[in-house]
A and B are shown apart, each in its own frame.
Chain A
Amino acid sequence: MKQPLNIALLLGLLAVASIYATQKKENNNFLANPDILKTGIVHKYYYSITEKGGYTSETDIEYRYYQQGKTSNELIEKRYNPAFKQDWESTYQLQGNKVKLEQRSTMNWYGDTLNFGLGDERIYLNFGTDEALSEVSISYPNGFSRHITQETRAIGDTLINEMPAKIVTRNRTIVNTKVDQTVDTTEVKIKEIYVQNFGLWSMVGEDDKQSYELILVEQLLPEPFKKMAQHDMKRVGYIDFDKTLDKEKPFSLCKRQIEMVDYYNSSDVANRAHFIGGKKPLKAYVFDRLEEQKLHKESGYLTFRFVVNCEGKAGRFTTDQSSFEYAQKEFHPETVQHLYEILKSVPQWSPNTGRGQIRDAYTYITFILKDGKITELLP
């Protein structure tokens, strides 16, 4: 009795395996595997732009994080820049061979989120034979608007690393307007390849000025990606206001710290943040107040980095202390304190002006000291 039962069990299992294998052959999913999407998958792409004529090619890094939404038919795509800052989010509905755009938003430089307007036609992708149409638009606070329409068609099959893949073409029209006036219209022809159970493999495109290329470089799991994104790295010269010499003293910015410029961000030298009158009167101001014994025979570069706000007030001082060999060093605390107090006492600085605005700016003054004498000031 037991032997036929075992054989039946074996045959049953073989049948399951064979059904599974057959199903796999007929799989029409050209996005990531649904099982993988439950936990999410991140694709890292190189996105390259080449000027027509081939003089310059630039490559950027783009991360695309795909994850199942509230239901198994909902797909969420988040895009991140090379520093892992999210700058794009879309929600799609999976309808058989079709991928329908449900929502799209973009995060601009300063963290604000702007939603795209969606047209009646919203089929972003169709792996079947009929043409898909989609239409989106976005308006920016500066009056600039962009309207994008595209016709998408799956034109054939191919193999990528022996895996079935679909070739999809897009004709994209981008119309840029500024205060209801069309600024320019760009026609972009795109070819994308989607690999079965995998997703977007590559893209090439071109318009009349540039050609584009997107290639998949690496897949990452969500957890390692999230760890990479937790770097907390700031721009070069960022000042942490809580770690400054004058952190207890009142000081305010005119705008957010993220919008601050550098002292030199102006085409006209006179509009850069600086001591009023330039370095010559600054030297006179310093030497009038200098108590040389407080320089303690020090040598090296003692730099004070600080903010000159749009009202010309200086605050949030920090230091960079270097030897003449360009190695970090520590100056005598009294030297640091004395020179800080002199700079802090300057009643008024000339703020940075650019793009028609007076702006908060990171600024610096370096004292070059040799054997307890100030020999020069920078910049």
Chain B
Amino acid sequence: MNHFFIKTAWRNSESIFFVFLSLLVLLLVSACHQATPLYKKEFTPEQKTQYAKQLLDGVGRYYQGMPENYFLMQEALSLDTSNADIYRELGVAPLKRGLISQFQDGYAKAVELNPLAWQAWRGYLHLYFHRDYNNAIKDFDAADPLTPNFVDYPQSQSIDLMRGICYLMKEDYPRALHYFDKHFAYESKEIGIKYLENKAFLYQGISHFKMGAFQKAIDIFDLGLQYNTTAPDLYFWKAKCLLALQGDAKAITTTVEQVKQQFNRRNQRGYVEEFYQLYWSDVEELEAALENL
């Protein structure tokens, strides 16, 4: 019984051994056939930063706001979540297309990550695209101390000029003049009065006009016209001042003629209207008022 048991056990263990060995060989063979694991590139931190930037630059290959742009930006963010420019770019198409409720999705994060680059810029957008003067002022005021002794120019426009426009539109004319005067003094000193754009004179003059200081306004418009001889907006507001002062009808007529001749050179903006946008109907209304003088 014992002998039989041992022999059977030996035979069984022998079989088990060979089956095990066979399985091992089969396993080895099948391991050779096993699919290679899917490849995924490991980027260095430097490569991640670089490719995130390049992917963001790559969005220009597609029309702004297309899904292609979105996926490129998401890819860029998967590599570098600290790149403020990507968040900013995500906000541009909603901004241009009037999707105001989506505006902050990108810009708030961009400002948080890089206020030096985007705080004043967002102020510019609040001012022109949303006519949101309070939030524009908040952004300009927050951005200004970030660059001490230096005037910021988001989208090539002085934040002092834009702060002045904000207060002008809020009908706070003394504060508007404070910033227009500041802008005027700084620009005159740094680059020279003859390089000042006509809007610096225009909005400063309009602030005086609104306060009833018509002669002061005329002096500013005249100064602006010395360097911007073809600016119909300056001629128009000068004519309004002359009319308000009930000045010489001939002088007013001559000024209005200048407005009409130079009308096509009026201030205009790309996506939105200018503040105090000049219309042909404004000129007609001025002429009608002149007839009643």
Residues of A within 8 A of B (CB): 2-3, 6, 9-10, 13-14, 16-17, 20-21, 24, 33, 35-36, 46, 48, 56-61, 81-85, 197-198, 215-221, 231, 233-237, 262, 264, 269, 277-281, 301, 303, 305, 320-322, 324, 326-329, 362, 364-366, 368, 376, 378-379
Contacts and interface: CB of A to CB of B under 8 A. Distances in A.
Main SS at interface, chain A: mixed
Contact of B101 (A198, A264, A328): A328
Contact of B41 (A217, A277, A278): A217
B75 A378 contact: no
Contacts of B67: 82-83, 231, 233-235
B57 interface: yes
B227 interface: no
B28 A17 contact: yes
Contacts, number: 176
B104 A218 contact: no
B279 A278 contact: yes
Contacts of A6: 14-15, 18, 22
Contacts of B38: 218-221
A84 B74 CA distance: 14
Given A235-B65, A303-B98, A219 B25 contact: no
Of A198, A278, A362, which is in contact with the most chain B CB atoms at under 10 Å from its CB?
A278
A379 B98 contact: yes
Contact of A61 (B18, B71, B282): B71
B130 interface: yes
B32 A280 contact: no
B15 A2 contact: yes
B130 to A, nearest CB: 7
* Interface size classification for chain B: 35 or more
A219 B39 contact: yes
Given A58-B61, A269-B269, 4 more contacts: A48-B54, A60-B58, A264-B96, A279-B273
14 contacts: A6-B15, A10-B22, A17-B25, A24-B32, A58-B57, A60-B72, A82-B67, A217-B40, A219-B40, A231-B67, A262-B96, A278-B273, A326-B101, A378-B131
Interface string B93-105: 1101111111110
Nearest to B132: A324
Q: Is the interface of B mostly helix, strand, loop or mixed?
A: helix
B292 interface: no
Contact of B36 (A197, A217, A231): A197
Nearest to B18: A6
B26 interface: yes
A82 B40 contact: no
Contact of B51 (A24, A46, A280, A320): A46
Contacts of A328: 101
A264 B270 contact: yes
A69 B104 CA distance: 48
A368 B126 CA distance: 13
Interface of B: 11, 14-15, 18, 21-22, 25-26, 28-29, 32-33, 35-36, 38-41, 51, 54-55, 57-58, 60-68, 70-72, 75, 93-94, 96-104, 129-132, 268-273, 277, 279, 281-282
Closest 6 CB pairs of A and B: A236-B65, A364-B98, A237-B97, A59-B54, A236-B93, A83-B67
Given A278-B277, A379-B98, A326 B41 contact: no
A21 B32 contact: yes
Given A326-B101, A364-B98, A378-B131, A280 B281 contact: yes
B41 A9 contact: no
Contacts of A364: 97-98
B52 to A, nearest CB: 9
Contacts of B57: 56-59
A362 B55 contact: no
Nearest to B37: A219
A264 B129 CA distance: 13
Nearest to A375: B131
A3 B11 CA distance: 10
Contacts of A326: 100-101, 103-104
Contacts of A231: 67
B54 A58 contact: yes
Given A198-B36, A327-B101, A82 B72 contact: yes
Contact of B130 (A82, A277, A301): A301
B122 to A, nearest CB: 11
A281 B284 CA distance: 14
B58 A262 contact: no
A9 B97 contact: no
Contacts of B103: 322, 326
A17 B32 contact: yes
A249 B282 CA distance: 37
A277 B7 CA distance: 108
A297 B91 CA distance: 30
A328 B131 CA distance: 18
Contact of A236 (B33, B40, B99, B268): B99
Nearest to B65: A236
Contact of B131 (A81, A321, A376): A376
